[in-house]
């Protein structure tokens, strides 16, 4: 029993919280390493607040000496600030947070002339909007807005990027800071529940299947000490049978890699 409890403690420590992406825009270069900017108007692009006057810095600095800022202009503008790629493979959950200072009068009401679209992509081409300033509800002009977004729909994916898109015509200046993506290493329980293992307990052969057309790529079985005792390469099948007759009696974990993410299922060898 002590060995089993110790093993679960080790698994818990492996599945702790982790910082995936962090940017405070305090560095000497802008955009920071791995970040990119694009703009429709050559004179209006994302830049550090230190490029502007002390008065503007006092209004739009959020944390530290610098924040990322985009200034208004009468003309239409589409300016983006895009993060490096990151991976949520192996995470059970993830959260994306940032702080922002945004004008209300010219971005929300009564003159909704622009939007700050906070977006995500898994290929750098197609972008999904996660948040826009109207989602926050009423706020004061240039109040610091603390925004936190759930990335549960993206756990298990790699090649991800987030970006801040300023899409406006005669709208308002805004700034962002303290960009942070964190996650919990481990198993996505809702994803794991899509799989069935049977019989359980098992004598000789254990089967793993799902009704969601999720294709398995490989499976490894570990004991309660975390040692890998069996591996199996699977050629994109939704159902697999594994011979475990050679395993000793005890508790085992089936680590399942698929085309949609990772799952772990426990079974007992009788």
Whole-number pLDDT of residue 36: 98
pTM of the model: 0.69
CB-based contacts of 28, cutoff 8 Å, min separation 6:
none
Q: Which of 87, 121, 96 is nearest to 176 (CA)?
A: 96
CB-based contacts of 23, cutoff 8 Å, min separation 6:
32, 35, 83, 179, 180
Q: Kindly give the pairing relationship between strand 205-210 and strand 239-243.
A: antiparallel
Kindly indicate the confidence band of residue 12, based on its pLDDT and cuts at 50, 70 and 90: very low
What is the spatial distance between Cα 177 and Cα 70, in angstroms, rounded to a whole number? 12
CB 181 within 8 A of CB 21: yes
Q: Which of 173, 175, 171, 145 is nearest to 67 (CA)?
A: 175
Task: Give yes or no for residue 107 having a pLDDT over 90.
Answer: yes
The whole-number average pLDDT for the span 19-24 is: 95
Kindly indicate the confidence band of residue 94, based on its pLDDT and cuts at 50, 70 and 90: very high
Domain annotation for the chain: domains and CATH numbers:
18-185 (2.60.120.200), 187-269 (2.60.40.3080)
- Reported as a single tens digit per residue, the pLDDT across 165-190 is 999 999 999 999 999 999 987 666 67
Kindly indicate the confidence band of residue 16, based on its pLDDT and cuts at 50, 70 and 90: low
- Report cis status (omega within 30 of 0) of the bond before 207: no
Task: Give yes or no for residue 13 having a pLDDT over 80.
Answer: no
What is the spatial distance between Cα 57 and Cα 219, in angstroms, rounded to a whole number? 54
Task: Give yes or no for residue 248 having a pLDDT over 80.
Answer: yes
Q: What angle do CA 21, 25, 28 make, to 5 degrees?
A: 120
Instruction: Tell me the pLDDT of the chain averaged across its residues.
Output: 90
């Amino acid at each position: 029993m002590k060995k089993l409890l110790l093993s679960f403690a080790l698994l818990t420590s492996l599945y702790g919280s982790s910082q995936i992406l962090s940017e405070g825009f305090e560095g000497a270069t802008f955009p920071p390493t791995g970040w990119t900017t694009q703009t429709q108007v050559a004179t209006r692009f994302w830049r550090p607040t230190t490029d502007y006057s002390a008065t503007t810095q006092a209004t739009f600095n959020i944390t530290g000496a610098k924040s990322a800022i985009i200034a208004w202009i009468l003309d239409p503008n589409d300016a983006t600030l895009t993060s490096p790629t990151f991976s949520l493979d192996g995470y059970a959950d993830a959260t994306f947070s940032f702080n922002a200072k945004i004008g209300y009068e010219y971005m929300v009401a009564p003159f909704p002339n622009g939007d700050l679209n906070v977006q995500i992509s898994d290929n750098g081409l197609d972008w999904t909007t996660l948040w826009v300033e109207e989602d926050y509800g009423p706020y004061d002009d240039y109040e610091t807005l603390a925004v936190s977004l759930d990335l549960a729909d993206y756990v298990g994916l790699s090649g991800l990027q987030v970006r801040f898109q300023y899409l406006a015509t005669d709208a308002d200046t805004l700034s962002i800071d303290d960009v942070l993506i964190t996650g919990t290493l481990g198993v996505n329980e809702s994803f794991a529940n899509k799989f069935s293992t049977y019989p359980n307990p098992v004598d000789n052969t254990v089967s793993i299947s799902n009704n969601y057309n999720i294709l398995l790529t490989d499976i490894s079985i570990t004991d309660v000490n975390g040692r890998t005792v069996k591996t199996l390469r699977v050629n994109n099948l939704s159902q697999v049978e594994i011979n475990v007759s050679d395993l000793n009696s005890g508790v085992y974990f089936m680590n399942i890699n698929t085309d949609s993410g990772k799952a772990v299922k426990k079974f007992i060898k009788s």
